């Protein structure tokens, strides 16, 4: 059974200016030990999809559909159900390690709390295990760090503490939401190495949410590309990068500057801007920015269709590899 199975998930937010459709009819599944990369720009719904699954939507958010975690639907579940699962069988790593750690609690207590809550271990045992975990995520002078407050740590160390906390109960699923976006590139490389190690050694399933295609290329097994709250393309990481079939995926790859290629002249761009989620375009949401647009795209919405082994895309046009 898949560890995570999302079926026809929708997330709507009620705002003063009307309803915002953040996630539209998203279906995804994830096997144990697999890493699924979720790529998209701001407002594409990549975070909200999983916030819904963790029961962490803002108060005005309303999810419909199903999020099956190990077969059990979490949409509409009560707080007790979520609290039993979160931090134990699945945990989350957020983008900003400063605002997601409690500022007035020492690192050791924050880490240990997870074990005391979920496993009922003693304080001394929790501290010992916290120390082991800090060493595993390569925090130097781990013993001393246990008694420090988050503000005494650098950004890279804080993110390691976040990862250590997520790993405390050996979860089956980790959701990493832009885990390295706030970090410098040399520290990003260290953090990605730790995540890779966790995935390979502990067989933990990982959802890696990011806007950085380079991060996806290094870690993910499969990729889902999101645009305006929908999945527009999904497939195996190598085939997506080698042969993107959706015009948006192609555009994203083409307009990402690459370190391994000398820049020549102007960059390839995607014209226009991401759509307003309150007034989504008719038909395919990407059609106003698409170079391959046809009349059909303007009126009819393409569904996610299988286009090859482990590949699916939501587009009427057959874009051939250049």
Residues that bind other proteins (CB under 8 A): 41-42, 140, 154-157, 184-190, 192-193, 211-218, 237-238, 241, 251-253, 255-260, 262-263, 266-271, 273-274, 289
Taking the C-alpha atoms of residue 96 and residue 101, their distance in angstroms, rounded to an integer, is 9
3 state SS of 69: strand
Nearer to other proteins, 197 or 300 (CB): 197
Nearer to other proteins, 68 or 157 (CB): 157
Helices (H), the chain: 46-53, 79-85, 107-119, 123-136, 142-145, 155-167, 185-202, 213-219, 237-242, 247-254, 295-299
Nearer to other proteins, 115 or 215 (CB): 215
Least distance between other proteins and beta carbon 170 (Å): 25
Nearer to other proteins, 86 or 145 (CB): 145
Give the distance, in angstroms, between the CA of residue 208 and the centroid of all CA atoms in the same chain: 4
Least distance between other proteins and beta carbon 198 (Å): 16
Least distance between other proteins and beta carbon 279 (Å): 14
- Spell out the residues 6+ positions from residue 319 whose beta carbon is closer than 8 angstroms to its own: 244, 245, 246, 247, 250, 292
Least distance between other proteins and beta carbon 268 (Å): 7
Least distance between other proteins and beta carbon 217 (Å): 4
Taking the C-alpha atoms of residue 120 and residue 132, their distance in angstroms, rounded to an integer, is 18
283: left (phi over 0), alpha (psi -120 to 50) or beta: left
Nearer to other proteins, 56 or 98 (CB): 98
Nearer to other proteins, 71 or 140 (CB): 140
Least distance between other proteins and beta carbon 142 (Å): 14
Which two structure tokens, joined as six digits, stand for 119?
């496993």
Least distance between other proteins and beta carbon 109 (Å): 24
CA-wise closest residue to 45 among 226, 177, 221: 226
- Spell out the residues 6+ positions from residue 78 whose beta carbon is closer than 8 angstroms to its own: none
Nearer to other proteins, 55 or 156 (CB): 156
Is residue 139 within 8 A of residue 160, CB to CB? The reply is yes
């Amino acid at each position: 059974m898949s560890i995570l199975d999302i079926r026809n998930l929708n997330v709507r937010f009620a705002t003063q200016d009307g309803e915002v459709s953040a996630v539209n009819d998203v279906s995804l599944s994830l096997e144990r030990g697999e890493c699924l990369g979720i790529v998209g720009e701001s407002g594409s719904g990549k975070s909200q999809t999983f916030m819904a699954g963790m029961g962490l939507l803002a108060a005005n958010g309303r999810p419909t559909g199903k999020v099956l975690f190990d077969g059990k639907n979490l949409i509409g579940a009560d707080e007790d159900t979520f609290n039993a699962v979160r931090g134990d069988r699945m945990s989350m790593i957020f983008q900003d390690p400063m605002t997601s750690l409690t500022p007035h609690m020492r690192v050791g207590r924050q880490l240990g709390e997870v074990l005391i809550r979920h496993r009922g271990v003693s304080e001394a045992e929790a501290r010992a295990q916290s120390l082991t975990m800090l060493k595993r995520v390569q925090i130097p002078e781990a013993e001393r760090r246990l008694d420090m407050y988050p503000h005494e740590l650098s950004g890279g160390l804080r993110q390691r503490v976040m990862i250590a906390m997520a790993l405390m109960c050996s979860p089956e699923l980790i959701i990493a939401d832009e885990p390295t976006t706030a970090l410098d590139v040399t520290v990003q490389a260290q953090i990605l190495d730790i995540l890779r190690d966790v995935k390979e050694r502990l067989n933990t399933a990982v959802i890696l949410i990011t806007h950085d295609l380079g991060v996806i290329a290094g870690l993910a097994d499969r990729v889902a590309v999101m645009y305006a709250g929908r999945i527009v393309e999904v497939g195996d990481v190598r085939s997506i990068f080698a042969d993107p079939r959706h015009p948006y995926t192609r555009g994203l790859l083409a307009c990402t500057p690459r370190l391994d290629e000398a820049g020549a002249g102007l960059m390839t761009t995607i014209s226009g801007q991401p759509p307003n989620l309150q007034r989504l375009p008719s038909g395919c949401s990407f059609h106003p920015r698409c170079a391959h647009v046809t009349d059909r795209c303007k009126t009819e919405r393409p569904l996610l269709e299988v286009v090859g082994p482990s590949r699916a895309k939501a587009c009427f046009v057959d874009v051939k590899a250049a």
